[in-house]
């Protein structure tokens, strides 16, 4: 399932502790913490694969980096519409349940996407 951990590295304009937020970003993006994240089964955003000692984690990170190099990632799916993530999850569940075909799922998501974009852009 698609997902996201949110905007971990965002400092709101009106944040009262901006310097603390900047320090958090600096710490979490450090090579040591990125390697720690990678060696514990998560996907760091800026790890050096040479610092990853776990073979499966290294393979995951190398694959992710390949996707990045090929511009193979897209925006988080609920950005283009207000509730596209919920629609995507529901459509995927219908597909897994066998109540829709892959073609029906794609048609449904395409319509919901187009309707959502039209609603936003007028």
> In this model, does residue 3 exceed pLDDT 50?
no
| 77 — pLDDT class (breaks 50, 70, 90) | low
Q: State residue 1's pLDDT score.
A: 38
pTM attached to this predicted model: 0.55
Percentage of residues in the chain having pLDDT higher than 90 = 48
Q: Are 47 and 34 in contact (CB under 8 A)?
A: yes
Q: State residue 100's pLDDT score.
A: 96
Nearest alpha-carbon partner for 84 in 119, 105, 106, 112? 112
Higher pLDDT, 43 or 82: 43
The single residue listed with the structure tokens 């955003």 is 45
């Amino acid at each position: 399932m698609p997902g996201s951990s949110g905007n971990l590295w965002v400092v709101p304009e009106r944040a009262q502790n901006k310097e603390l937020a900047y320090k958090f970003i600096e710490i979490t993006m450090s090579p040591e913490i990125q390697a720690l994240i990678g060696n514990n089964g998560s996907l760091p955003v800026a790890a050096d694969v040479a610092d990853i000692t776990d073979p499966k984690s290294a393979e995951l990170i190398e694959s992710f980096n390949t996707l990045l190099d090929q511009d193979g990632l897209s925006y988080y799916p609920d950005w283009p519409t207000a509730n596209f993530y919920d629609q995507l999850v529901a459509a995927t569940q219908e597909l897994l349940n066998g109540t829709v075909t892959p073609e029906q799922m794609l048609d449904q998501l395409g319509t919901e996407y187009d309707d959502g974009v039209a609603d936003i852009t007028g």
